[in-house]
Structure 1
Amino acid sequence: MQRPLVALKIVLVGNSAVGKSSLLLRFAEGTFAELPATVGVDFRVISLENVQGYRVKLTCWDTAGQEKFRTLTSSYYRGAHGVIMVYGIDDPESLKHLETAWLEEARRYVNNPNAVYMIVGNKSDLPTAVVPRADGRRLAERVGALFLETSAKSGSGVSECFVELVARILEAQPHVTGDGEQAGVQLEAGPYHETASCLC
């Protein structure tokens, strides 16, 4: 019997140059590249074959970190089931901005009261972390988010980041699987691996 398929939307936010695009590239294609700053919003559609018994069509929106694009990206929060907030462990300001800017913005525009948030400290491959792991963990505990450190360069923690977030979404939002009062989007299709961009 084929596993049921559900569709989820994830948004990645954080300062420019923290590695959001590289993180998504590593997860989607298993490769690493130093990518230029995102202009506007990019997205990828990725399939996960077995998360808590479901196949998941995961649409991941990679938002630009530059201030000039902030108003442009607000509409992409709507309908999100999860938000990954990324900082660089080499950049203390990027962690500070998660709480003072990105989290506030996400909570303003995400219209899903059961959305799951995750704080990710990227670049864990660096020999010395300017931002201690404990600082990221404390912020996550304070705002009620999941926490993980990753390295888009080495691949460490990347799959765990997305899979853990999806698993928590399925637990926190049963309507997306049809187990709650409102059935989620059910699609019958084969493997997904799409990419597109919006330069708006």
Structure 2
Amino acid sequence: MEDLVIDEEDIGDDPEPLFQKAAHEGAGAAMVAKEADKETAGETKSLEAPAAPGNAPEQASQVIDGKPAAKAVLVGDSGVGKTSLLLRFSRAEFVTSKATIGVDLQAQTLSLPDGKSIKLQVWDTAGAEQFQSLTSSYFRRAHAVVLVYDVNNRNSFSSLGRWMMEVDRLAPAEVVKMVVGAKDDSHGGETAVSSEEAAAFASKHGALCERCSAQDGTNVQDMFKRCAVKIVRNGFDPDGKPPKAAVSLATSTTAPKRSKCC
């Protein structure tokens, strides 16, 4: 079991939303957030504390098994398949009917081309409108942001412009960006969004681009490895010393609550 540690600055100071649960299973963990009881709100740390533009704290605040972990955040509209991608990546399984409530977190170790390995925490954030302020607070510490759309849903692709604005506003300047077309289950068949259109959007914003299928696993591992390689090229040291100021996440064996399709 891998111990997950997060810097206190990653949690924030606003006492309203709280970590409700965290679950460990092998290399994975899951978290969800809910409103705090007002009587005890002053004793807790919050997920909701966006940094002022230009004042984003430094990266590398996460620790797994005593080593620094890079942080990747999945963003995109609700229903595009972010959770399915995460579970295919972390557990090699396909789940079709889960929607994230708050935040899911899974951790994996990836092998790099140079023979080294990197600990990667992937945060699956809820895409529903009411969770967008919660999602935004996580950009600040991210080493990579994966913007996910459904290749069969043009509206989800159109929304990427809004998500990209949030990334550019709140994420570190050196963050790795990747545009991912999920649910590419036909592998070359006609889709609502063409590969060329997605590639043009990604190029415009200096992002990597990929299409994948959580259903059969096509390109899922590869997309995260591409992100990891770029993260290291940007200066992240997977063998570096962990940060001194950090707090351990509370853990539970209770799985996060979910609802309908992801």
8 A Cα contact 1:28 1:46, kept in partner:
yes
Which of 161, 174, 196 is the matching residue for 1:114? 174
Equivalent residues in 2 for 1:147-186 (5 A)? 147-172=209-234, 174=235, 176-177=236-237, 185=242
Distance 2:257 2:202 in 1: 30
Relative to its length, the structure with more helix (as a share) is 1
Structure 2, unmatched stretches of 5+, are 1-66, 244-252
Q: Deviations over 1:45-66 (max 9, x none)?
A: 1112445332211111001011
- Runs (5+) with no aligned partner, structure 1: 187-194
Say whether residues 1:124 and 2:184 are aligned partners: yes
Q: Secondary structure at the match of 1:8?
A: strand
4+ runs of 1 displaced by more than 6 Å?
Answer: none
| Structure 1 residues 97-112: aligned runs within 5 Å | 97-99=159-161, 101-110=162-171, 112=172
User: Cα 1:87–1:184, aligned 2, differ >3 Å: closer, same or farther?
Assistant: farther
Task: Report the Cα distance in structure 2 between the residues aligned to 1:197 and 1:76, rounded to whole angstroms.
Answer: 18
- Aligned residues between the structures: 183
Instruction: State the TM-score, normalized to the length of structure 1.
Output: 0.83
How far the C-alpha of 1:184 sits from its partner, in A, is 5.6
Q: Deviations over 1:49-101 (max 9, x none)?
A: 445332211111001011111112221112100000000000011111111x1
Larger radius of gyration: 2
Q: In the alignment, which residue of structure 1 is the partner of 2:69?
A: 7
* 1:42 and 1:198 in contact (8 A); partners too: no
Q: Which residue of 1 aligns with 2:60?
A: none
Spell out, residue by residue over 1:96-126, the C-alpha distance to the aligned partner (whole angstroms, 9 max, x if none).
1111x1111112221x221110000111113
Q: TM-score, normalised by structure 2?
A: 0.64
Between the aligned residues of both structures, percent identity stands at: 38
